[in-house]
Amino acid sequence: MSILDLPISRLDGTPATLGEITGGKPALLVNVASKCGLTPQYAGLEALHEELAGSGFTVVGVPCNQFMGQEPGTAEEIEEFCSATYGVTFPMTEKIEVNGEGRHPIYDQLVRTPDEKGEAGDVQWNFEKFLVDGTGHVVARFRPGVEPDDAMLRDAARALASSAG
* Active site (catalytic) residues: 36
Rounded to the nearest angstrom, the gap between the alpha carbon of residue 151 and the centroid of all alpha carbons in its chain is: 18
Sheet harboring 58-63: ordered strands across? 58-63, 27-32, 129-132, 138-142
Pairing of strands 27-32, 129-132: antiparallel
Per DSSP, the three-state class of 55 is helix
Contacts of 36 (CB under 8 A, 6+ apart): 67, 70, 71, 125, 126, 127
